[in-house]
Structure 1
Amino acid sequence: MRYFSFLLFAGLLLALGSCRTDFETVASKGELAFSRDTIYLDTVFSNIGSSTYTLKVYNHSKNDINIPTINLGKRSNSKYRMTVDGMTGVNGKEFSNVTLLAKDSLYIFIETTAAATDANPTDFLYTDNIEFDAGTNLQKVELVTLIQDAVFLYPQKFIDGSTETVTINDEKTYGFYLDESDAINGNELNFSNKKPYVIYGYAAVPEGKTVTFAAGARVHFHADSGLIVSKNASLKINGTTSTTDKLEGEVLFEGDRLEPLYDNIPGQWGTIWLQNGTKNNSINHLTLKNATIGLLIENNTDQLTIENSQIYDCTNYGILAKSALITGQNLVINSAGQASLACTYGGDYKFTHCTFNNNWNGNSPTSVLVNNFELGATPEVKNLTQATFNNCIIYGSYSNHLSLSKKDAATFNYSFNNCLIKYFGSSTNALYQFTTDSAHYTNIILNQDPAFYKTSLNNFNIDATSAAFAKGNSSYLIPTDITGATRSLPPDLGAYQTKEFPKKT
């Protein structure tokens, strides 16, 4: 027993001795390797925090090393901050005696919050670097961020600590009313293209007022934010045709995260809400992305005209209309959790040369939904005066991309003329008699591929191989397409006239 205890004790000593090298380090010799030489933190708005970016630092040597210092070049004055393997150091700016084991690596996470005044006035770049060690062993990784100045619109905070609100359906919501004589911003009802706008909470248009968006205006909505157009108020979006991929003439509505990672992420903000009784609304050349509901339109007895516009990547609907009056031309909607276009609770709708697609991943959403009821509403059923679709494409990645639902004996007028439709559903349902019901369907192309250029990039151009090529009826012609190109005769279906593109990859 004593012999066994001696062997156990000796074994423990040997084990401890063999691990001792884990605690012995040699000084760094400036031979660190990095996952990147420069960290580009993409574009951020003035005084709005960035996403977190990662740098990986490697020790390829056979020795455990000690890095005497890891610092931001501007030290405590830097607008960057970082953690090193979970350590915060001195205010996220300076770190001492960091151990990096042999053949191992460590992670550095970097963020920034900087103002436009911190950036270089000629290129709006804010820069710094991460310095590893000093003297002859000094190594650097550059940090670069583009700071964009903006107009910030948000609810006021009152002396008693309460915050400004707006009333939506008798409930108070975090928001504010746009002021045409604001002491700081001037007329908040006129959105120009001089600076982008960032909105916190719901910006509401007061009754009887008109909000106008000039060509090239950029509006970014924070989480749980949006725009409300009140009763008797009006919305005017005055975008124009763009000649480059920068969409310089478009009015752009999207979230306030500018990093490429967020380009196609839905649900980053709320909605554009045209409430009951709005009037004289018009939308031209709008690109709207990443909302929960792109446009929510209810009970507008004045016609909304929406032309040459695009709505992408919305959590629930691209457009949700309730008893609305809408005319749409050269409209493209793609990727929504329930329906790209929903014309519900009756109403009056006419869409010409539009592309309604849905590539939402999961839950088998549809592209076009039309019904004449709303459960729980009073009355529950309303007349569908018309739902007319001319020279349109209704398509997507699932089996059925048209959903028609009629309740009771209320009026339910619908017609599809010269449209390409994807529908593999029941052939006995009276609402979907595409080839025999001439009162509701004329010249329907059923279940043929429109051969969109690249739906993953929201590019719905077609070429001569498309089943929609030259299949339109000239009597419904809109002379130019969504890009301003002249349509040929007979026209193509959808919002785009045929255009040749490089071979798909």
Structure 2
Amino acid sequence: MRYLYGLAILSCLILWSSCRNDFETVASTGSLEFSKDTVYLDTIFSNIGSSTYNLKVYNRSDEDINIPTVRLAEGEASNYRLNVDGVPGKVFENVQILAKDSIFIFIETTFNVNNLPTNPKEFLYTDQLLFDSGGNEQKVELVTLVKDAVFLFPEKYPDGSYEAINLGTDDDPFLVKGFYLEDNELTFTNEKPYVIYGFAAVPSNKTLTVEAGARVHFHNLSGIIVEENGTLKTMGEKSNDPELMENEVIFEGDRLEPGFSDIPGQWYAIWLRSGSVNNEFKFTTIKNSTFGIRMENSPLSLKNVQIYNSTNIGLLAIHSAIDGENMVINNSGQSSLAIQLGGSYTFRHCTFANYWTEGFRSFPSVVIANYAEYFDGSSTVTEVHDLVAANFTNCIIYGNERREFGLLKDDQAIFNFKFENSLVHFEDPTGEFSNDPLYDFTNAALYPATKFNIDPVFQDTELNNFNIESGTSGADGIGKPGVLPTEDLNGTTRGNSQQDPPDAGAYESIEF
């Protein structure tokens, strides 16, 4: 296991030109035009190649022109790279552009922290792309934010293989590329971002503590695994600026370009393995993974947690125990919340939504089951466990499909659930579920004071903004007084009386 402190930047330059020698040209006169006068290359981490950025160079004149030189101001010492007609380099001569035509310049970089004389947390790295020289010289600025980071990754062996974790048994191994965190790596601070390659595993009888304001980034197919008797605690705190979220813990992918800010499936999951203990998440955002949290036979406390943009499931709980409050989960390729093989669950003032638009979705936002089916190699096996409780109080369950919750019961086990003072989206226009007692919405024992199919009027589902509008939201004023927490996800005090009841969901209503 190794530690690497690195810097990272984004920027790159591949230059594409229509370089030809079979037509007459005139020298450039400094009249080139550019699609940008400054190319801002977004932040990446040390030794991770950036995305490709482009610049277009126009020849607006009626004559074919020749640019004597196209080069980086820092020349061969520059960390930006150029490529002209497939030939790499940093200085090029006699680049030609036809009349009323243009060429593309693409920009990229990789930066090594060892190139720096000091080790700041972040700085701006700049260079210039120069066209021609002397009185005809024109330039385009190149600007990249460079960030320092802590890199955690599995060891690579001399034979080219990597350190691995066995998620199976000795007789039936299932190996994934990963490593166990050492004692000096079991606290993630907010001093520098962390970048994880492969799976970082919390060993048995150890606790990984992620401090308030920490940022944890994952490479493709990476994540955190918490082993039996291991513990994960993310100790975020309420932020002063809801946009900066400076005190929250954030888990996301390692591509920092704006175009990747909401792309699902960039990393795998936070995986709480069977028998992990005392797991706790406070003021935490998990985004752009395959599973946000995947847990098996484990306890978990969730307070002020947001999970967005999961290609599969936001929160998958298998025969587990969860106490959740002020949660929001949205934009999942399957379900935002999936409960399998029973367990015990309590959710208060949570918003489980699903407005997935990346493709077809065949699962409701919330699925609750006391069984699971799997193939054992020869036949399909059904495993059943008691659903001791699945209680939703002052919650919203909504989305862009007709039915946004599903109940899957096996009569061989207990199946206890209750939706109280909540807002639920479930349409049954053909009466398919009219004779199923699980969906008897007049049953006050199962659905006390719960409302159905009244638009919650979310502020902006595409931006994962699930504030609700005062006076028009179906969740406005339908909550049960006296249900903790007393403050919503924004820190606003909730109503707490029959005359001033709270709203359902993670947010108290506001004026848009």
Q: What TM-score do the two structures reach when normalised by structure 1?
A: 0.90
Displacement of 1:265 in angstroms is 0.3
Residue 63 of structure 1 aligns with which residue? 63
Alignment of 1:257-296 (within 5 A): 257-296=255-294
Matched, 1:314 2:310: yes
> Which amino acid letter does the alignment assign opposite residue 46 of structure 2?
S
CA distance in 1, matches of 2:72, 2:410: 66
Instruction: For residues 333-360 of structure 1, give each alpha carbon's deviation from its aligned partner in whole angstroms, at most 9, with x where no partner exists.
Output: 0000000000111111111100001011
SS of 1:107's partner is strand
Matched, 1:471 2:478: yes
**Greater Cα shift, 241-250 or 20-29:** 20-29
CA distance in 1, matches of 2:286, 2:442: 38
Displacement of 1:135 in angstroms is 1.1
> Which amino acid letter does the alignment assign opposite residue 109 of structure 1?
F
Matched, 1:178 2:181: yes
> Which amino acid letter does the alignment assign opposite residue 176 of structure 2?
T
CA distance in 2, matches of 1:230, 1:53: 41
Displacement of 1:117 in angstroms is 5.9
Residue 363 of structure 1 aligns with which residue? 360
CA distance in 2, matches of 1:41, 1:21: 33
> Which amino acid letter does the alignment assign opposite residue 322 of structure 1?
I
Alignment of 1:107-122 (within 5 A): 107-116=104-113
> CA separation of 1:138/1:462 partners in 2, compared to 1, >3 Å: closer, same or farther?
same
Matched, 1:456 2:451: no
SS of 1:247's partner is coil
CA distance in 2, matches of 1:123, 1:247: 18
> CA separation of 1:96/1:21 partners in 2, compared to 1, >3 Å: closer, same or farther?
closer
CA distance in 2, matches of 1:24, 1:433: 79
CA distance in 2, matches of 1:200, 1:479: 39
Matched, 1:494 2:500: no
Q: Which has the higher contact order (CA 8 A, sep 6+)?
A: 2
> CA separation of 1:442/1:136 partners in 2, compared to 1, >3 Å: closer, same or farther?
same
**Greater Cα shift, 144-153 or 93-102:** 93-102
Contact 2:69 2:91 (8 Å CA) reproduced: yes
Contact 1:22 1:64 (8 Å CA) reproduced: no
> CA separation of 1:255/1:123 partners in 2, compared to 1, >3 Å: closer, same or farther?
closer
> Which amino acid letter does the alignment assign opposite residue 313 of structure 1?
N
> CA separation of 1:88/1:118 partners in 2, compared to 1, >3 Å: closer, same or farther?
farther
> Which amino acid letter does the alignment assign opposite residue 55 of structure 1?
L
CA distance in 1, matches of 2:186, 2:244: 25
Quick one: which of 197, 211, 214 aligns to 2:211? Answer: 214
CA distance in 2, matches of 1:432, 1:96: 76
Displacement of 1:123 in angstroms is 6.1
Contact 2:481 2:495 (8 Å CA) reproduced: no
Q: What TM-score do the two structures reach when normalised by structure 2?
A: 0.89
Residue 190 of structure 2 aligns with which residue? 193
Structure 2: tracts of 5 or more residues without a match = 1-19, 376-380
CA distance in 2, matches of 1:67, 1:111: 22
CA distance in 1, matches of 2:332, 2:230: 28
> CA separation of 1:27/1:398 partners in 2, compared to 1, >3 Å: closer, same or farther?
same
Residue 139 of structure 2 aligns with which residue? 140
SS of 1:136's partner is helix
RMSD: 1.9
Aligned length: 471
CA distance in 1, matches of 2:436, 2:121: 65
Alignment of 1:70-469 (within 5 A): 70-84=70-84, 87-89=85-87, 91-116=88-113, 124-169=123-168, 170-180=173-183, 187-244=184-241, 245-300=243-298, 303-361=299-357, 362-364=359-361, 365-376=363-374, 380-425=383-428, 426-431=432-437, 433-464=439-470, 465-469=472-476
> Which amino acid letter does the alignment assign opposite residue 138 of structure 1?
E
Contact 2:73 2:128 (8 Å CA) reproduced: yes
Displacement of 1:428 in angstroms is 1.2
Contact 2:59 2:102 (8 Å CA) reproduced: yes
Displacement of 1:261 in angstroms is 0.2
Matched, 1:484 2:491: yes
Displacement of 1:251 in angstroms is 0.5
Instruction: For residues 364-390 of structure 1, give each alpha carbon's deviation from its aligned partner in whole angstroms, at most 9, with x where no partner exists.
Output: 342111111111276611111111100
Contact 1:82 1:88 (8 Å CA) reproduced: no
SS of 2:30's partner is coil
Instruction: For residues 477-499 of structure 1, give each alpha carbon's deviation from its aligned partner in whole angstroms, at most 9, with x where no partner exists.
Output: 42111232211231111011223
SS of 2:259's partner is helix
> CA separation of 1:72/1:53 partners in 2, compared to 1, >3 Å: closer, same or farther?
same
> CA separation of 1:150/1:461 partners in 2, compared to 1, >3 Å: closer, same or farther?
same
CA distance in 2, matches of 1:175, 1:435: 47
Structure 1: tracts of 5 or more residues without a match = 1-19, 181-186
Alignment of 1:29-68 (within 5 A): 29-68=29-68
> CA separation of 1:41/1:429 partners in 2, compared to 1, >3 Å: closer, same or farther?
farther
Contact 1:483 1:496 (8 Å CA) reproduced: yes
> CA separation of 1:354/1:434 partners in 2, compared to 1, >3 Å: closer, same or farther?
farther
CA distance in 1, matches of 2:166, 2:122: 42
Displacement of 1:92 in angstroms is 3.2
> Which amino acid letter does the alignment assign opposite residue 488 of structure 1?
G
- Aligned-residue identity in percent: 52
> Which amino acid letter does the alignment assign opposite residue 364 of structure 2?
T
Contact 1:44 1:145 (8 Å CA) reproduced: no
Displacement of 1:291 in angstroms is 0.4
SS of 2:326's partner is strand
> CA separation of 1:271/1:322 partners in 2, compared to 1, >3 Å: closer, same or farther?
same
Structure with bigger helix share is 1
Higher Cα Rg, which structure = 1
CA distance in 2, matches of 1:456, 1:162: 41
